[in-house]
Structure 1
Amino acid sequence: MLNHIGYRGFISAPLLLVSFVLFLLPSVYSLNDGILSTNRKLLATTVTNSSSNKYAVIFDAGSSESRVHVFCFDQNLDLVHVGKDIEFFQKLLHITILLLYHYYMLQQFGRALLEPGLSAYPTNPKEAANSLLPLLENAKQVVPQDTRQNTPVKLGATAGLRQLGADASEKILQAVRDLLKANSSFKTNDDWVTILDGSQEGSYQWVTMNYLLKNLGKKYSNTVGIVDLGGGSVQMAYAISEATAAKAPKTTKDGDIYVKELSLMGTKYYIYVHSYLNYGLLAARAKILNITKDANNPCILAGYDGVYTYGGVDYKASALSSGSHMKRCRKQAIEALKADGSTCTYKNCTFGGIWNGGGGDGQDHLFVGSFYYDRAEEAGFINASEPVATVRPRDFKLAAKRACQTKLQDAASAYPDADAPNLPYICMDLLYQYTLLVDGFGLKPWKPITLAIRIKYQDALVEAAWPLGSAIEAVSVAN
């Protein structure tokens, strides 16, 4: 297409397109050192000016973008608005729409425009750290100068940095530590700049959820547990009694710690948390398809003949001539989950030989998120306009029964809210989710659970994500 437009057309068309997109977006955009960023307006002067307010600055260093969150808490550790919002949030964007324009812009704006995540700089740790400067400077504008030295700043990196390898990732983390010490004026600690493992992320999400529900500071039996189903892994976290924690296995066979101790709002909690790597929804598809290898699979909708790619590996994803078969698909889900108990060396296990935490009051009320909410919405048994819904595991099985009887040619009309790439796998996904809850985590099929994507807090809907939990821990420790 570019061959048919002149130089002026090449320059003006992307400019008009970008201008139109930025005009439509609700946030305020700016170019900082060649990095396109988005932020809510810097309204530090509108924050309640109280000497008792405490701030926390949390960097979320994802694989494709970096983000900063600034939270403000009053003396009771309730969130205080930053401007009009419950938090200040800014991110460095990975905007593919600008690829049309990159030949013209690259000399000015450099590589960071296209790949703003820390992992975009595997051989240049200092440049990686410097990419955070625009975020850091704007965070400093939000936090009053006289409180900065007591304001913790933390960075949690995720999968993108981990994939670089230990040497390259540690050099980048050290460069970030050096940057924060030299330029932030915030309270820093080397241990606060790290790659998050799944258990850390799970425990922080537990903190976030219980904070938003106003459970922190109460006894552990009044808290809720969480199950977070991502693409590559699934996390479970819930509070257990001190007696159960004392008898818990110290580590898994891979050296992960089962129980984390957290002091929050004057109360000590023992959190059972485990991240099941390679048991997220997208990883599970690969496991289930690998069972049949080059044969057709009973979990695929009738009429589909394709390939599923995960982790750089291709898997045959083709339906049986008779279509998907619920009973046979569920058997494969159990096999993929290793939920037959054969590898359990403890009194009670979930799946794959992992201790289940002992159960108890902290697990009685479960909030379940991410892909569980998404698939329930796509399958049509929750209201997409409501961020919270009460369901039962059997709802996923009932939805799977309908899905497994659907042919691919009818799937788009049967599931108008589902993304097209998910349609061939909707029988598989729903059955796996049911199997994970019932056979994996041992829930009764009729047990009420809460699906949640956001939680109402004051006048806002807040995403129950790990940065808020990390901020609460940091501020609680500071107290």
Structure 2
Amino acid sequence: MIKRRQPHNESLSDKINRYRGAILVISVPVLLVTFVLCLMPRAPVDGGVGGVSSNRKFSPNYAVRMDPGSNKYAVVFDAGSSGSRVHVFCFDQKLDLVRIGDGLELFEQLKPGLSAHAADPKEAADSLLPLLEKAEVVVPQAMREKTPVKVGATAGLRQLGVDASERILQAVKDVLKVKSSLKSDDDWVTVLDGTQEGAYQWVTINYLLKKLGKKYSQTVGVVDLGGGSVQMAYAISEEDAAKAPRITNGEDTYVKEMFLMGQKYYLYVHSYLKYGLLAARAEILGLEKDSDNPCILAGYDGVYKCGGNDYKASALPSGSNWNKCREAAIKALKVNEPTCTHMKCTFGGVWNGGGGDGQKNLFVASFFFDRAAEAGFVDASKPVATVSPAEFQKAAQGACATTLEDAKSKYPHVESGNLPYICMDLVYQYTLLVDGFALQPQQQITLVKKVEYQNSLVEAAWPLGSAIEAVSAAR
């Protein structure tokens, strides 16, 4: 058989025609893959806001298109009795916190608080400017005019009276209008009533623990001990809410209805004005104004200033005494107040909410954590600790047996201005928990300073709850 030789001068078109079958087999799948890839959206290199990485990780199996403009910022000032603090938060469309720099919030503080400038409202307002400047740096410039700035004054201003507090608040409103590039509104600068503060605190802690949206029995109760007031808040059943006493003397109602993340909650919340840690000192010292006090450490003779009033603060010749100080704390709390007309009361004739599953897991914040850490039975480097009221009792007994001179070395982390009152503070905290809120001495409670959320620590304070409300209203 003779083989047919291919001509050397075969044209390109002849070659394509001869191999067209093989070319089609190879090219069709390639074209299909290229077409699909062109249709797929590309994931951005950085899903952050304002040049800050959002720290989100995307699955390699799909791409997600993110719009940085969908995130919302909120700036909240906590103008408390012991100092002023600013919190800045950023939320995504699902109301999850987005990272700001190294954490999930900006938190800065300074002392003293607005109430320390009662005689000069402008000076009070100007004291917030260093915090405002730090907050504005964090918010991207293009988003500042859309970012709400709220100022919530708490017990410190409540105790000044209406006239003095209104003058300070008006000065703050004026400063924000002139000096701030953020979105301000006169209605956002206010003295929080105690129930608002307590409700926001409950929202904050349950949000950070990812309890919101779950049944009320799966949420945690909150006690927040500030300088001027103490709040208790916890979710109760609809049946217990229906049994709540009806208040007719102008006070806030005991139960607030809140709809959060698809779940309706009946929140028992009450704020006890004048029973925050610093205000309680005045209540205890005021029982016998001109006498030495069994709660003051031996070696101290001074004056305690609170709410524009002076109180004699001097030790007994024998020094502080646990038993006598406890009697004074019980008397100041009005534990045996005969005016309780409800089913069951805490102290001062106040309904206790009825208890229940929403109160069983109790988170206790603010000064409770601070004094426990300073007294040495809680590690200050860890933001959460499980303790019992009995540990406050033991610490108080040790403090009351100490002189002022010895306390300087025994409690190195207590500020010098607070040192004479360390016995009083710890006795009061134990009495508040056991006699005021009727906890068992051995009951386990959680002291909390910050809560871990998305691998970061966030302050367990009411401003986050207020920020969640602000950005929710703007959605």
| Distance in 2 (alpha carbons) for counterparts of 1:117 and 1:85 | 31
Match of 2:98 among 80, 89, 92: 80
Matched, 1:406 2:402: yes
Deviation at 1:115, TM superposition (A): 8.9
CA distance in 2, matches of 1:325, 1:68: 39
CA deviations over 1:86-142 (Å, ceiling 9, x no partner):
134577x779xxxxxxxxxxxxxxxxxx99999787489xx969x879948974983
Q: Which residue in the other structure is 2:261 paired with?
A: 265
Q: Aligned match of 2:71 in 25, 35, 53? A: 53
Deviations 1:214-242 (A, max 9, x none): 11111111111111112221111111122
The equivalent of 1:142 in structure 2 is: 139
TM-score, reference length from structure 1:
0.74
* Amino acid paired to 1:56: A
Aligned residue number for residue 437 of structure 2: 441
Partner in structure 2 of residue 285 of structure 1: 281
Is residue 401 of structure 2 the alignment partner of residue 416 of structure 1? Answer: no
TM-score by length of 2: 0.75
- Output the CA distance in 2 between the equivalents of 1:115 and 1:281: 18
Could you list the runs of 5+ residues in structure 2 that have no partner in the other structure?
A: 1-47, 55-66
Pick from 338, 348, 352 the counterpart of residue 352 of structure 1: 348
Determine helix, strand or coil for the equivalent of 1:58.
Answer: strand
**Which residue of 1 is the match for residue 383 of structure 2?**
387
- More deviation, 248-257/154-163: 154-163
- Deviates further, 305-314 or 42-51: 42-51
Query: 8 Å contact 2:172–2:189 — kept in the other structure?
Result: no
State how far apart, in whole Å, the 2-side matches of 1:166 and 1:115 are.
14
Aligned-residue RMSD, C-alpha: 3.9
Provide the residue aligned with 1:201 in structure 2: 197
One-letter amino acid matched to 2:443: K
Q: Indicate the residue corresponding to 2:456 in structure 1.
A: 460
| Residue pairs, 1:59-98, within 5 angstroms | 59-60=77-78, 69-88=87-106
Deviation at 1:382, TM superposition (A): 1.2
| Separation in 1, partners of 2:304, 2:168 | 35
C-alpha distance in 2, partners of 1:227/1:346? 21
Q: Which residue of 2 aligns with 1:169?
A: 166
Match of 1:304 among 300, 307, 329: 300
Q: Is the 8 A contact 1:263 1:477 kept in 2?
A: no
Alpha carbons of 1:274 and 1:181: their partners in 2 closer, same or farther (altered >3 Å)?
Answer: farther
What code does the residue aligned with 2:173 have?
Answer: V
The answer to whether the aligner puts 1:44 opposite 2:50 as a matched pair is: yes
**Residue number in structure 1 paired with 2:238:** 242
CA distance in 2, matches of 1:190, 1:249: 34
Structure 1 residues 420, 241: CA separation in 2 closer, same or farther (over 3 Å shift)?
same
Provide, for residues 136-179 of structure 1, a one-character-per-residue CA deviation record: whole Å limited to 9, x for no partner. Answer: 89749835848965x55544234566547449827955993997
Distance 2:288 2:153 in 1: 36
Q: Which residue identity is paired with 2:304?
A: Y
Counterpart-to-counterpart distance in 1, 2:287 and 2:164: 36
How many residue pairs align between the two structures?
A: 415
CA contact (8 A) 1:300 1:323 kept: yes
Moved more, 451-460 or 253-262: 253-262
Q: 1:251 aligned to 238, 247, 250, which one?
A: 247
Query: Does the CA-based 8 Å contact 2:451-2:458 persist in structure 1?
Result: yes
Task: State the SS of the aligned residue for 2:353.
Answer: coil
Aligned residue number for residue 206 of structure 2 = 210
Does the residue aligned with 1:156 lie in a helix, a strand or coil? strand
- Rounded to whole Å, the distance in 2 between the matches of 1:65 and 1:423 is 18
Which sits farther off after the overlay, 443-452 or 340-349?
A: 340-349
| Contact 2:217 2:235 (C-alpha < 8 Å) held by counterparts | yes
Q: Is the 8 A contact 1:264 1:473 kept in 2?
A: no
Q: Which runs of 5+ in 1 are unaligned?
A: 1-41, 96-113
SS of residue paired to 1:257: coil
CA distance in 2, matches of 1:138, 1:353: 42
Contact in 2 for aligned 1:299/1:427 (Cα 8 Å): yes
User: 2 CA distance for matches of 1:421 and 1:167?
Assistant: 26
Q: Percent identity?
A: 61
Q: Deviations over 1:12-48 (max 9, x none)?
A: xxxxxxxxxxxxxxxxxxxxxxxxxxxxxx9723355
Deviations 1:274-330 (A, max 9, x none): 111111122222222222332322222333333333333333333333333222221
Q: Which residue of 1 aligns with 2:38?
A: none
Q: Secondary structure at the match of 2:338?
A: coil
Q: 2:452·2:458 contact (CA, 8 Å) conserved in 1?
A: yes
Which amino acid is the alignment partner of residue 72 of structure 1? C
